[in-house]
Amino acid sequence: MKRALAAVRLLPAPGAGQVAGPASDPTWSVDAPSPWAPLTPDEAAAPAYCNVCRWHGTAFGGPAHCEGATCPRCGSVGRDRFLLWCLVERQPPRLGQRVLETSPRLDHRYRVAMGSWFDYRSSDYDERAHRGVLRLDLQAIDLPDEDVDVMLSPHVLEHVPDTDRALAEIHRILAPGGVLYLQVPVLQGRTAPPAEPEFHGDDTPVFWRFGYDLTERLRAAGFEVAVLVTDGWRDLASAGTGRWPGGDVSPEFDVDDLLAHVDGAALTGVARPADAARLGFEPSYMYLTWECARR
């Protein structure tokens, strides 16, 4: 199903980079339990559960979308929760490890919580919609070699002109055995520049529309790569039907093209259908994170 090429805006509108929760709960991050802590019985039984702030209830707010399904407590959307889910599912509990996150979407409460779990730093480049403790250009990262154990990079690489230079810099600053968890909007099967000028919601220009072939670029940069998805998307891609069974799709996603270029055998499922439903990882074609380990 085709989508408009110009003026696609997946990110929050200007000024929405710091998402506030309800005034009645301004300090959810105080004494936040470890993200590896077991669920309470109430959390495990709830129809909707946020792994960022541990809110639980009947449903998230807004539509089922990677930029929707909003937590009423911390403001996380689906892709925020999927990024943390991938980290926790794939890494053993290692509180205190050195974590760098580029342009985190959530507010200071999230950063307080992350700082209680990790040696955590956040960065941004143009500071239009986000504020980090560091201002970093991914094409020339002003950090020492082997300075980071885990890097979280949600929806930033598409705004960087020189992909290979950025990947080389990320590889350099990761410690041996360090891991990058990389999210970008995957709207089509193959990587290409936008056909027309394109900007995300904070008016940041898009240089690349990435597809599943980004995996090979990451491997060429020296990473061992796993493509993390929900079990539902892995199973659909492996079935080889080439068709989305869920009816209407969000117009900015070319789901037919995604299915035409995805190799189901190359995907790693990290969220069972029940978990994906509770955490808001639906529809499944919107959820993908590359796990890139430094060799």
- 241-287: per-residue pLDDT in tens? 889 997 889 999 999 999 999 999 999 999 999 999 999 999 999 99
Q: CA 262, CA 235: separation in Å to the nearest integer?
A: 11
Q: Say yes or no to pLDDT of 174 above 60.
A: yes
Four-CA torsion 152, 60, 110, 144, nearest 10 degrees = 10
Omega cis (within 30) before 283: yes
Q: CA 277, CA 279: separation in Å to the nearest integer?
A: 6
Q: What is the helix (H) or strand (E) element at residue 125, kind and residue range?
A: none
Calculate ∠ Cα 89-92-98, nearest 5°: 105
Query: What pLDDT score was predicted for residue 31?
Result: 85
Q: Say yes or no to pLDDT of 6 above 90.
A: no
Confidence of residue 219 (pLDDT cuts 50, 70, 90): very high
* 48-49 and 119-124 strand pairing: unpaired
Q: What CA–CA distances, in Å, run from 106 to 46, 102, 114, 134, 156?
A: 23, 12, 11, 16, 15
Confidence of residue 202 (pLDDT cuts 50, 70, 90): low
Which tokens is 292 given? Answer: 């890139």
Q: CA 255, CA 210: separation in Å to the nearest integer?
A: 14
157 contacts 208 by C-beta, under 8 angstroms: yes
Which tokens is 8 given? Answer: 């696609």
Calculate ∠ Cα 263-267-268, nearest 5°: 165
Q: Say yes or no to pLDDT of 180 above 80.
A: yes
Q: Which residue has the tokens 């990587």?
A: 191
Q: Say yes or no to pLDDT of 82 above 50.
A: yes
Percent above pLDDT 70 for the chain: 88
- Which stretch, 11-25, 59-73, 112-126, has highest mean pLDDT? 59-73
Residue range 106-140, pLDDT digits in tens: 999 999 999 999 999 999 876 555 567 789 999 99
Q: CA 206, CA 208: separation in Å to the nearest integer?
A: 6
| Structural Rg of the chain based on CA atoms | 18
**Stretch 75-87: mean pLDDT:** 98
102 contacts 154 by C-beta, under 8 angstroms: yes
Q: For the chain, list the domains and their CATH numbers.
A: 63-294 (3.40.50.150)
Contacts of residue 229, Cβ cutoff 8 Å, sequence gap at least 6 = 237, 267, 268, 269, 270, 284, 287, 288, 289
